[in-house]
Homo-oligomer: A and B are copies of this chain.
């Protein structure tokens, strides 16, 4: 993409309402624009990141054996009356009356809706297990939306739901998601620590939150320092094997959120306890028959008995992750995207658009990048070098490739790693090859 044509409305000044760094940087980098309180439009640069995160989440769901569906955003209130949550949910639920006076709502979560689908479609233990996921917009009418996309009202979430015949099978489904989540966050360059959690309005008695450590995180977390030595789980996973040892490993050390931490009861010696800040990016629940029983989602088991389905539900905050990654990866100059979620791999800078040699070399490189399938954003604008460099640092592409008159004399381009700041030179003829192999 040529920057001269790109819709990238970066801001020189940071809007006063942005109180955390990810919100400030997303506004300044032209990634989003607030549409109304806690509701955002995603502009081209931001949407590319959102879509990359979505693709990783989808890929790991499919790898784990989950199947994708898509439920509507607008639900009938009737289902929520069946489960008993319609009154409970309070004002966070956006309630709607349609033209015929029917009570509807914008789904804040989908346990009822999926249970309704499954109770009509699955009748026998032979149809189990099933794990159905979706990536869909949700709405929670937060009383004080803040922190940009980190705590918005309309947000993109991956939610899925597992259905099993008995508790042991349900527990295996839970473990699969536990492992899939470790892999998902690791692929985004995040260190996420699973912490035993309250199950809140979803219900059930087995639940973990996945917390990303970030200096500017929303809440305080406490964890054993040995978590730093854990492998990040981005290798292969065998979802048919017993995953309990992996789950046991990841829950063997103490980790608690502010809400659950009690300094007097903490089993970890002070010297081994790390206090940091964290952001919740995923949450897994196993709640057995909490919804299937009242809603009549039952199957026949092998002996002909009718039993309620054992269910779990699992959520990843897809739009929130965009903010969380920035919180975990930025510096004074701007965002530092991990390659896996970067909107473009390479930022190509032509330092001198008025110089024929620079123009020719830059255009040639740009065409070669496109041909090689390397995602490249090309700053072909007639701007000052300083403005171009600071713009590229702000939007945080992993690699900057700069073409200038001095380098051209030697036949080289300058390569800068956004993360380390390290600069190297590469022969012009080597540049595209180098990045095509990344």
A residues near B, CB below 8 A? Answer: 5-7, 9, 30, 33, 35-37, 39-44, 47, 50, 65, 67-76, 78, 91-92, 94, 96, 98-99, 102, 104, 106, 113, 116-117, 120-122, 130, 132, 137, 139, 141, 143, 153-154
Contacts and interface: CB of A to CB of B under 8 A. Distances in A.
Given A36-B76, A47-B70, A94-B96, 5 more contacts: A35-B72, A39-B74, A47-B68, A72-B137, A74-B94
Contacts of A73: 73, 137, 154
Contact of A71 (B41, B70, B98, B130): B41
Nearest to A131: B7
24 contacts: A6-B67, A9-B121, A30-B121, A33-B117, A33-B120, A33-B121, A35-B76, A39-B72, A41-B69, A41-B70, A41-B71, A41-B72, A42-B70, A43-B69, A72-B154, A74-B106, A74-B139, A74-B153, A96-B96, A98-B141, A99-B141, A99-B143, A106-B106, A137-B137
B74 A7 contact: no
State the oligomeric state as a number of copies: 2
Interface of A is mostly: mixed
A229 to B, nearest CB: 37
A54 to B, nearest CB: 11
Contacts of A96: 94, 96, 106
A120 B27 CA distance: 13
A377 B51 CA distance: 27
Nearest to A141: B99
Nearest to A127: B7
Contacts of A102: 36-37
Nearest to A130: B7
A36 B103 CA distance: 11
Contacts of A68: 44, 47
A65 B6 CA distance: 10
Nearest to A163: B7
Which one of A9, A72, A94, A117 has the greatest number of beta carbons of chain B within 10 Å?
A72
Which one of A75, A96, A130 has the greatest number of beta carbons of chain B within 10 Å?
A96
Nearest to A113: B35
A78 B39 CA distance: 14
A69 B42 contact: yes
Contacts of A47: 68-70
Nearest to A43: B69
Contacts of A121: 7, 9, 30, 33
Contacts of A30: 121
A130 B7 CA distance: 8
Contacts of A78: 36
A96 B117 CA distance: 27
A205 B121 CA distance: 49
A6 B66 CA distance: 10
